[in-house]
Chains A and B, each alone.
Chain A
Amino acid sequence: MTGGRALALHLGVAAVLGVLQFVLPPFHHGMVTRILFFSTYAMAYNLLFGYAGLLSLGHAMFFAAGMYGAGLPVYYLGMGSGSAFLLGLGSGLLLAAAVGAASLRASGSAFPVVTMMFGQVSYLLTLHFNWITFADQGLVLVDRLLPLHLGPWSVPLTDPAVRYVLAWGLFTVVLWVSLWIVRSPFGRILVALREHEERARMMGYDPFRYRWVAVCLSGGVAGAAGAAYALSFGYVGNAFASILYSIYPLLWVLLGGAGTTLGPLVGVLLMTYAVDVVSGFTSAYLVVVGLALVLVTLGFPQGILGRVRARWWRWLP
Chain B
Amino acid sequence: MTGQLVLALLEGTTSGLLVALTSVGLALAFGILRIVNVAHGAFFMLGAVLAWGITTATGSFLLALSLAPVSVMLIAAVMDRLVLRPVRYASGPTIVATLGLLYVLEQLTLALYGPEARAVAAPLAGTVELPWFGYSIYKLAVGAVSAFLLLGTWVVVTRTSLGLRMRATQQDPEIAQAFGVPVYRIYSLTFATSAGLAAVAGVLVVPLQQAHYLMGLDALLVSFMAVVLGGLGRIGGTVAASFLIGWTDGIVSIFFTPTLARIVASLIVAFVLVARGGGLVEGS
Q: A residues bordering B, Cβ < 8 Å?
A: 55, 57, 102-103, 105-110, 112-114, 117-118, 120-121, 124-125, 127-128, 243, 247, 250, 254, 282-287, 289-298, 301
Pick the residue among A128, A254, A284 that contacts B107 (CB under 8 A): A284
9 intermolecular pairs with C-beta atoms under 8 Å apart: A106-B278, A107-B277, A109-B36, A113-B269, A114-B274, A128-B259, A128-B260, A290-B101, A290-B102
Is B111 an interface residue when CB atoms closer than 8 A count as contact? yes
Q: Are B278 and A247 in contact (CB under 8 A)?
A: no
- Interface size of B by Cβ–Cβ distance < 8 Å? 45
Known interface pairs A117-B269, A127-B259; A110-B280 also in contact (CB < 8 Å): yes
Counting from the closest, the 7 A-B pairs by CB-CB distance are: A290-B103, A293-B100, A108-B279, A287-B107, A290-B104, A294-B100, A117-B270
Q: Which residues of B contact A128 (CB under 8 A)?
A: 257, 259-260, 263
Whether, in the assembled complex, B221 has its beta carbon less than 8 Å from a beta carbon of chain A, the answer is yes
CB closest chain-B residue, reference A106: B273
Q: Which of B101, B103, B259, B277 contacts A286 (CB 8 A)?
A: B103
Contact yes or no, A110 B279, CB < 8 A: yes
- The answer on a CB contact under 8 Å between A114 and B270 is yes
Most buried by B among A121, A254, A284: A284
Chain B 108-120: CB-based contact to A (< 8 A → 1; otherwise 0) = 1011000100000
- Main DSSP-derived SS at the B contact region: helix
B250-284 vs A: 1/0 string, CB under 8 Å? 00000001011011001101110110111111001
B93 interface residue (CB < 8 Å to A)? yes
Task: Find chain A residues with CB under 8 A from B277 CB.
Answer: 105-107
In-complex Cβ contact of B274 among A102, A127, A250, A294 (8 A): A102
Q: Which residues of A contact B107 (CB under 8 A)?
A: 284-287, 290
Report chain B residues within 8 Å CB of A296.
96
Known: A118-B270, A294-B104, A297-B96. Is A109-B257 also a contact (CB below 8 A)?
Answer: no
